[in-house]
Structure 1
Amino acid sequence: MASPTTATPKLAALRSLINNAGIGLALLFLIVIFSFSSEYFLTANNITNILTQITINLILAVGMTFVILIGGIDLSVGSVMAFAAVVAGKAITLPGFGDTELILLACVAGLGVGMICGLLNGVISAYWGLPSFIITLGMLNIARGAGLQVSNAETIYAFPLAFEEFGSMLIGGVPVVFIVALVMTLIAWFVLNRTVFGRLLYGIGNNEEAVRLAGHPVFWYKVIAFSISGLAAGFAAIIYMARLNIASPIAGIGFELNAIAAVIIGGTSLAGGRGSVIGTLLGAFIIGVLANGLILMGLSDFLRQMITGVVIIVAVILDHYRAKYSAS
């Protein structure tokens, strides 16, 4: 079977289109069901709420897509997000600076912490050839503990007013934070589909040894993929702070599972080598619409968790059959 580096681009694009079309139909089906189930579902306020609620998961899931495409996994993004948030929270509340300087300092600090954590995940996993599942599980605990240590287990608040206003700003009824996440998604799509680096990530997920024998530095490609995931976690931390006006060391618990679920539901294979950030975008929408719709229907937290779990399992089963179709 040809790898993405040698397969016909038109065939790969057709398969991606068919896959995304199926996910889009599933999303449309959910929207129709919840529209009939609740009169409040398609209101302007609720649509704005959905867009706001999926923002952080979308950002984390886009970063996760890079890692899963190479056959890896990143379980640390929720904890890294919390760690980055408290470091950024400490920076944004420093005395003696203007609001603009504090906001820029916080952004640099949060993004830097996230990228460093991702870089460490990538270097350790790639250099020693260790399962990323184990390495990122360790980072999950390290980052969570570091966040609690830096913040003294306390929530940080009292941010500059301009920063708080950014988190609630709307343009034409669309949250600015969602627009930022959408721009990030489009950039990721361009990197994966229009650059050599992106195509080689697909190649590593399909046949790592072939990419290595072709003379490409597989080690650094893996490190960069994990660094992008960490950077996305840092970016999510900034958005989280702007939205909620706090930085909590216990934030982000379980966020990594939602991000992985969005990627899988969006059609990216856990085995690596297949998928797209457009599918991830649709997957994040499915999770967000499902959660919102079930709440409006009055279902309990327990039932919502069960239904979401069923959706994830079904998505994995469908991925199994998609893999068989691609191999045929």
Structure 2
Amino acid sequence: MTTHSFTRSMSGLKNYLGLIGALLAMCILFSILSENFLTAATFTTLSNDIPTLVVMAVGMTFVLIIGGIDLSVGSVMALAASVLSMAMVRWGWPLFAAATLGVLVASLCGMLTGLISVGWRIPSFIVSLGVLEMARGLAYQVTNSRTEYIGSAVDGISSPILFGMSPAFLSAILIVVVGHLVLTKTVLGRHWIGIGTNEEAVRLSGINPRPSKVLVFALMGLLAGVGALFQVSRLEAADPNGGVGMELQVIAAVVIGGTSLMGGRGSVVSTFIGVLIISVLEAGLAQVGVSEPMKRIITGLVIVAAVVLDTYRRRGERSTH
């Protein structure tokens, strides 16, 4: 192992330990402030609330690692949910076929963002804002601006089956594991990290970074579609207003997990812990009676603190090289 890789490994270990320490500290704090926090009911509720956020955060980790950003994920999720509901309620499609169509539509939205951003060298921030508006408008069109109720035909995916955990939660964990392996054990994952670190160096080494970048955005769309399936299953309905502000939650979880906004560094496992931190924070604050405005202020402070910490971490890494 080279000195550089050893340093990166140690940095990753410190990040894991720091995140787990923060998560444990929050659990202890809220258990002291609320006698109902450390109960099976709380953690069953948490495990069944987070699958949508988890899978979308995995996709956003990849997007940030290559130096991009996708602000359309909440609207794309709403569009996928709307298409799924239309296929089941109006066309009478079975769940699998309807879910496949929803995931396909979401994947195409992600691919559109990637193709325009990469093909015309336009910042993905701007392109995804446009896709955000288009996807939200299409969601309204598909549902006639009304919530589409599907019923119990979809609730099995979010119903607890094993120690209070649902198929959606178990699937989300599987996606985290696969995402971690892709990022750390495959050539494709190394390409993504290389693109985020120094895209020009990747190009000069004879590798065209464009297909890999488009693939990342398409994958982000696909995972937004999977997240839509989980959300529809939990609510038993598709809401065209669903997912408003979801992109901020997703990005917050990824940043808290230590993925750099500048690209080139990130971890799917750390992102998962970041999701847990956000979810535990919101649940704990709700249980101790904190108002919604104050919850948003506290969550915002945590995000800012994570970005500041990332800045100091990057400076420390530069000083060691």
Where on the TM-score scale, by shorter chain, does this alignment land: which range? Answer: over 0.9
Whether the aligned pair in 1 keeps the contact of 2:157 and 2:230 (CA below 8 Å) is no
Is 1:130 the counterpart of 2:126? The answer is: no
After TM superposition, what 4+ stretches of structure 1 lie above 3 angstroms from structure 2?
6-11, 94-97
Shift of 1:277: 0.6
Is 1:150 the counterpart of 2:155? The answer is: no
The structure 1 residue matched to 2:162, chosen from 162, 165, 171, is 171
The structure 1 residue matched to 2:267, chosen from 253, 276, 288, is 276
Change (3 A) 1:225 1:84: same
**CA distance in structure 2 between the partners assigned to 1:75 and 1:95 by the alignment:** 31
**CA distance in structure 2 between the partners assigned to 1:320 and 1:107 by the alignment:** 40
Q: Quote the residue 1:227 is aligned against.
A: 218
The structure 2 residue matched to 1:265, chosen from 242, 256, 276, is 256
Q: Quote the residue 1:18 is aligned against.
A: 14
Report the TM-score, using the length of structure 1 for normalisation: 0.94
Shift of 1:242: 0.6
Q: Quote the residue 1:314 is aligned against.
A: 305
Specify the code of the residue in structure 2 equivalent to 1:166.
I
**CA distance in structure 2 between the partners assigned to 1:270 and 1:133 by the alignment:** 12
Whether the aligned pair in 1 keeps the contact of 2:150 and 2:238 (CA below 8 Å) is no
SS at match of 1:171: coil
The structure 2 residue matched to 1:287, chosen from 267, 271, 278, is 278
Unaligned stretches of 5+ residues in structure 2: none
Unaligned stretches of 5+ residues in structure 1: 1-5
Whether the aligned pair in 2 keeps the contact of 1:269 and 1:319 (CA below 8 Å) is yes
The structure 2 residue matched to 1:92, chosen from 85, 88, 95, is 88
Map 1:112-261; keep pairs closer than 5 Å: 112-159=104-151, 161-261=152-252
Q: CA RMSD of the aligned region, Å?
A: 1.3
Q: Quote the residue 2:59 is aligned against.
A: 63
Whether the aligned pair in 1 keeps the contact of 2:82 and 2:142 (CA below 8 Å) is yes
Whether the aligned pair in 1 keeps the contact of 2:44 and 2:165 (CA below 8 Å) is yes
**CA distance in structure 1 between the partners assigned to 2:248 and 2:41 by the alignment:** 27
**CA distance in structure 2 between the partners assigned to 1:170 and 1:96 by the alignment:** 27
Is 1:48 the counterpart of 2:62? The answer is: no
SS at match of 1:269: coil
**CA distance in structure 2 between the partners assigned to 1:107 and 1:198 by the alignment:** 27
Deviations 1:25-62 (A, max 9, x none): 11111011001111111100111111122221111111
**CA distance in structure 1 between the partners assigned to 2:96 and 2:208 by the alignment:** 34
**CA distance in structure 1 between the partners assigned to 2:131 and 2:107 by the alignment:** 13
Specify the code of the residue in structure 1 equivalent to 2:38.
L
Shift of 1:12: 2.2
